[in-house]
Amino acid sequence: MPTAVLKSPPAGMPTSIVLTDRTRVGGEGTVHFSTDGKYAIKVYHGTPVEREKLLGYVMTIFRTIPRDQERYILPPLALVQSLNGKPCVGFVMRRVEDRYRELVDFVLHPAAAAAQFKQGRTWADYLKLARSISSALVVLHGKGCAHSDIHFSNFLADLRDGSAVMLEVDGVVVPGFLPAQVAGMAGFMAPEIVHRKARPDERTDRHSLAVLVLHTLLFRNAMQPLIDYATDPETSEQLGWGEMALFSEHPADRRHRPKALGVPLFSRGCLSYTMLTEELRRLTDQAFMAGLRVPDDRPTSRDWERALACAIDELWPCTRCRQWFPYPHWLVPAERRTCPFCGMRISPPAPVVLRLLEERGKTGFYTTHRRVVLGSGFRLYADVVDPSRVPPPSRQQEGHVAHVEWDRVRCTWRLVNDNAGVITSSVDGARQEARRGSSIVVEQGAQIHFGPGARMALVVQAGA
């Protein structure tokens, strides 16, 4: 059996690792897997000794990362000294379980997603996946590093729980310390890299992240050039992704607009970013319009992580195709609200839409970008009213403070207090109160309080 010997491994790691015969050959090196299923080893082609020093830096950077962040990345844990007795340059990392597949298999085109939908996955799972991808970048950027090669083959994903793991952390960039090993993948590189050969850094990562997040949500590259810019295909590509880079849904310039944009996905259509929550649309505009040529203006990985986490509270199920998507409460009249997947008009009653407010010192409450959409049986989770929290990656362990029910007799929504102290609601001087087990009528324009220190909710839509 092939065996790798490690160079002074940290406590808790073996000094040598027995490997299976299975390997994965990449551009930079070959990845081997340990027989105990715990580790993977990357051995670089040739013996690039200068790489060892860089790996040493990377190991120091990621030696201490919080436990809840470990799952998103695979940092080098120790250097490899030899493989089968032969000196080599490489490192050992945690091995990802076999249930993970390359992200590209799920998001490359609508057919890839449709195959997943047939197996019971929904767009909500893709939303979680996009969040995990952003979280991986938050870990890297939080350490002052950039990835420089963000694309859909450098993430492993499991759609069943929406988890994603970032690969190629050994190639991270730290300005002044670690130079970029690669420029990135066509289609994901920031325009200034394509056009002016700018160096990859955290700000170019922000562009690549926006492209990857949108690709995960819309199953297409939102920056795909759709016209020729030169007779030579290579020059045309260079211009289309670089100097002439243009958001496919730019409101004033329709050169890159897909023909079937906004047609329901299941009718051979093409999802539009206008199906996304207001906050995700705002970040997309910021990334692909205001920040397209002003890298400092692009949203950060943390901005994306937060907006994607909160978007989970705005989802609504289609009664026909069973897909989940952000409820388009901003479309007026309500008859314009349709399912972006099958085109079915969303049937009444319209759900409750709350806007969350937070207390700021003695000055009172201020509005946040967060909204919560609630239909029959939907729960209002404890994290929603806690001003220090965003929705956790999984709510299996999360308690709830209330739920919503449709009152068939009065044709109104009711908010039932399941676990809060006292819920109060006030509008135009009229006040309602619900202790545990009792409920209030959800009224348009009402302010709902969940107790001292909690977020407050403003009812922006109450059915009809």
Per CB under 5 A, 188 contacts Zn ion: no
Place of tokens 């490192």: 91
Our CB check for Zn ion shows the closer of 33 and 341 to be: 341
Q: Least Å distance between CB 115 and Zn ion? A: 17
Contact string (CB under 5 A) for Zn ion, positions 263-302, x = contact: ----------------------------------------
| Contacting residues for 214 by C-beta, under 8 A, at least 6 apart | 221, 222, 273, 284
Cis peptide before 349 (omega within 30 of 0): yes
Stretch of 15-23, 204-212, 340-348, 414-422 lying at the interface with Zn ion (CB under 5 A) = 340-348
Shortest spacing between CB 281 and Zn ion, in angstroms: 20
Using the rule CB under 5 A, give the single segment among 228-236, 237-245, 334-342, 449-457 that binds Zn ion: 334-342
Q: Which stretch binds Zn ion (CB under 5 A): 71-79, 104-112, 159-167, 337-345?
A: 337-345
Q: How far is CA 149 from CA 184, 186, 397, in A?
A: 4, 10, 35
- DSSP symbol at 180: -
Least Cβ distance, residue 406 to Zn ion (angstroms): 21
Residue whose pair of structure tokens reads 């590259």 in the numeric block:
221
Nearer to Zn ion, 5 or 321 (CB): 321
Secondary structure of residue 2 in the 3-state scheme: coil
Work out how close the CB of 341 gets to Zn ion at its nearest, in angstroms, rounded to a whole number: 5
Closest separation between CB of residue 105 and Zn ion, Å?
24
Residue with Cβ nearer Zn ion (343 or 349): 343
Of 220, 229, 166, 218, the closest CA to residue 194 belongs to: 229
What is the Cα–Cα distance from 115 to 103, expressed in whole angstroms?
Answer: 14
Residues 341-370 that bind Zn ion (CB under 5 A): 341-342, 344
Closer to Zn ion by CB, 318 or 457: give it: 318
Q: Mark residues 309-328: x for contact with Zn ion by CB under 5 A, - for none.
A: ---------x-xx-------
**420, HSE (Cβ side, Cα atoms, 13 Å):** 32
Q: How far is the CB of 316 from Zn ion (least distance, A)?
A: 10
Contact set for Zn ion, span 409-428 (CB under 5 A): none
**Smallest distance from Zn ion to CB 120, Å:** 15
Give 145's Cβ-side CA count (13 Å radius).
28
Going 269 to 270 to 274 to 279, the CA torsion angle's sign is positive
Q: Which of 78, 140, 339, 448 is close enough to bind Zn ion by CB under 5 A?
A: 339
Containing H/E element for 239?
helix 233-241
Q: Which stretch binds Zn ion (CB under 5 A): 51-59, 187-195, 303-311, 339-347?
A: 339-347
**Do 260 and 268 touch, CB atoms closer than 8 A?**
yes
From 119, 96, 114, select the one nearest 31 (Cα to Cα): 96
Residues of the shown chain interacting with Zn ion in the complex, contacts defined by CB under 5 A: 318, 320-321, 339, 341-342, 344
